[in-house]
């Protein structure tokens, strides 16, 4: 069971990063140039479209991590798409792709699909290419599709708990929400989904974003010795979710990030760092968080606001995480660089 869960999370992590990295790297930059070069709008649209392919990419990568055959892997991919909630049908009968889907349900559907194709094994023989994709849609795919509303509801209940926290004193609220989102970004649950369900805005959104910033920056520094520099940067530019497997196997690896998240979240309350329901679910990816803070701050691009933005989104996350990583690794001997090793091969 531990090995199964480990491979599932590893496949999900790779799929998430591959789907989200293009928009994370290009999204905000393209938005700046589109007004001057309208032809770039097509490139921006494509990066958004690729994000909606997240479910099928997760399914395929999960299939690969389990060493399934090409037909089995493709079947897991299409079943994951069915259970994702990405595909929606309008009143006019037009099928659309909406967002990235419910990540948790994608993972559940992918897991059921792997178990299903393994159960069938070679029983279908020469008819596998005809029957396996269809059966994968009808059995694990439809199970995922049917439980989707319940998984959505559970996400909503989670959001209600966060919404209650927003009624607390700003500094305390900021610290709690930042820690919560720091954990959430390392789970199969979508931070963007939770934030948009409850329309998290204001200081709550700013704190949530700083919690994700803490996770991304901290994990980048903690993992670069065990992985390549490019993989380390993927934690910041893409998503810290690539550490899902390691986090669930060894939760202690997030201790430095959680403490720095609490501090940064508290500062969100002190400096009135705000955001939108959309920016709450992102860290430094695409610079969505920092840019939204500046746009919402009174006075906009003032020296004071720029200083606060640079300090809370860049300088302090680096300083705090480096200091805490040193303490937990060198002094307390709680973590080591090998704990952050990613298995992408």
Instruction: Render 295-333 in DSSP notation, one character per residue.
Output: HHSTTSS-HHHHHHHHIIIIIHHHHHHHHHHHIIIIIS-
Give the integer Cα–Cα distance in Å for 213 and 203.
15
Please, which residues have CB within 8 angstroms of residue 73's CB and are 6 or more apart in sequence?
59, 60, 63, 64
End-to-end CA distance of the chain: 21
pLDDT-derived band at 146 (thresholds 50, 70, 90) equals: very high
Confidence (pLDDT) at 344? 67
The answer on pLDDT for 113 being more than 90 is yes
Helix (H, G, I), strand (E, B) or coil at 64: helix
Which of 309, 268, 311, 317 has its CA nearest to residue 292?
309
On average, the pLDDT of the chain sits at: 90
CB-based contacts of 209, cutoff 8 Å, min separation 6: 181, 275, 279, 280, 281, 282, 283, 288, 289, 292, 293
pLDDT one-digit tens code per residue, 26-56: 877 888 899 999 999 999 999 989 989 999 9
Give pLDDT, residue 54.
92
Q: Residue 97: which pLDDT band, with cuts at 50, 70 and 90?
A: confident
- The pLDDT score that the predictor gives to residue 40 is 92
Q: What is the Cα 154 distance to its own chain's centre?
A: 18
Q: d(Cα 21, Cα 50) in Å, to the nearest integer?
A: 10
How does pLDDT run across 226-265, given as a tens digit for each residue? 998 888 888 888 789 889 999 999 999 999 999 999 999 9
Output the 3-class SS for 235-297. Answer: HHHCCHHHHHHHHHHCHHHHHHHHHHHHHHHHHHHHCCCCECCCHHHCCCHHHHHHHHHHHHC
In the predicted model, is pLDDT for residue 345 greater than 70? no
Cβ neighbourhood burial of 313 (10 Å; 0-12, 13-18, 19+): buried
**Tens digit of each residue's pLDDT (9 = 90 or more) over 265-293:** 999 999 999 988 878 887 887 778 898 89
Of all residues in the chain, the percent with pLDDT exceeding 90 is 56
Per-residue pLDDT of 150-181, as tens digits, reads 988 887 777 778 777 877 888 999 999 999 99
| DSSP calls for 101-142 | --HHHHHHHHHHHHHHHHHHTTTTGGGHHHHHHHHHIIIIIH
- Residue 52 near residue 13, CB atoms below 8 Å: no
Q: What is the pLDDT of residue 253?
A: 95
The angle at the Cα of 189, spanning 184 to 195, to the nearest 5 degrees, equals 70
Rounded (10°) angle between helices 2-33 and 41-51: 160
pLDDT at 323 over 70: yes
The mean pLDDT of 305-328, rounded to a whole number, is 96
Cα 181 from Cα 208, distance rounded (Å): 5
Are the beta carbons of 207 and 178 closer than 8 angstroms?
yes
Report d(CA 326, CA 180) in Å as an integer: 23
Q: Which range in 77-81, 120-124, 188-192 is most confidently predicted, on average pLDDT?
A: 77-81
What is the model's pLDDT at position 108?
A: 95
What pLDDT is recorded for position 222?
94
Percent helix, strand, coil in the chain, to 5, is 75, 0, 20
- Nearest partner of 216 among 276, 285, 306, 269, judged by Cα: 285
Element (H, E) at 229: helix 229-237
pLDDT single digits (tens) 176-219: 999 999 999 998 887 877 887 777 888 999 999 999 999 999 99
Distance CA 21, CA 12 (A): 14
pLDDT value at residue 16: 86
Question: What pLDDT, on the 0 to 100 scale, is given for residue 157?
Answer: 77
């Amino acid at each position: 069971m531990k090995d199964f869960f480990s491979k599932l999370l590893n496949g999900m992590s790779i799929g998430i990063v591959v789907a989200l990295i293009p928009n994370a790297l290009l999204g905000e930059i393209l938005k700046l140039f589109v007004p001057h070069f309208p032809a770039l709008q097509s490139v921006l649209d494509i990066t958004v479209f690729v994000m909606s392919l997240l479910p099928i990419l997760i399914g395929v990568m999960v299939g690969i991590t389990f060493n399934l055959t090409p037909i089995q892997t493709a079947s897991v991919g299409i079943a994951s798409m069915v259970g994702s909630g990405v595909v929606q049908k309008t009143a006019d009968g037009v099928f659309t792709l909406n967002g990235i889907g419910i990540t948790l349900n994608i993972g559940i559907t992918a897991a059921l699909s792997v178990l299903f194709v393994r159960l069938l094994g070679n029983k279908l023989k020469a008819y596998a290419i005809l029957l396996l994709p269809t059966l994968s849609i009808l059995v694990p795919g439809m199970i995922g599709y049917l439980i989707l509303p319940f998984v959505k509801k559970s996400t909503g209940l989670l959001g209600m708990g966060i919404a209650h926290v927003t009624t607390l004193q700003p500094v305390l609220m900021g610290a709690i929400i930042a820690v919560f989102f720091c954990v959430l970004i390392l789970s199969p649950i979508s931070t963007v989904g939770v934030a948009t369900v409850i329309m998290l805005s204001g200081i709550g959104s700013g704190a949530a974003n700083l919690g994700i910033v803490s996770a991304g920056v901290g994990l980048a520094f903690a993992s670069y010795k065990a992985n390549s520099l490019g993989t380390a940067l993927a934690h910041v530019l893409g998503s810290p979710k690539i550490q899902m497997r390691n986090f669930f196997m060894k939760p202690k690896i997030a201790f430095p990030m959680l403490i720095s998240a609490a501090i940064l979240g508290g500062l969100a309350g002190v400096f009135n760092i705000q955001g939108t329901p959309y920016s709450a679910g992102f860290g430094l990816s695409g610079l969505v968080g920092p840019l939204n803070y500046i746009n919402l701050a009174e006075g906009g691009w003032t020296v004071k606001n720029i200083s606060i933005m640079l300090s809370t989104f860049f300088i302090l996350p680096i300083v705090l995480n480096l200091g805490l990583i040193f303490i937990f690794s060198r002094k307390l001997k709680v973590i080591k660089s090998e704990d952050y090793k990613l298995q992408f091969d």
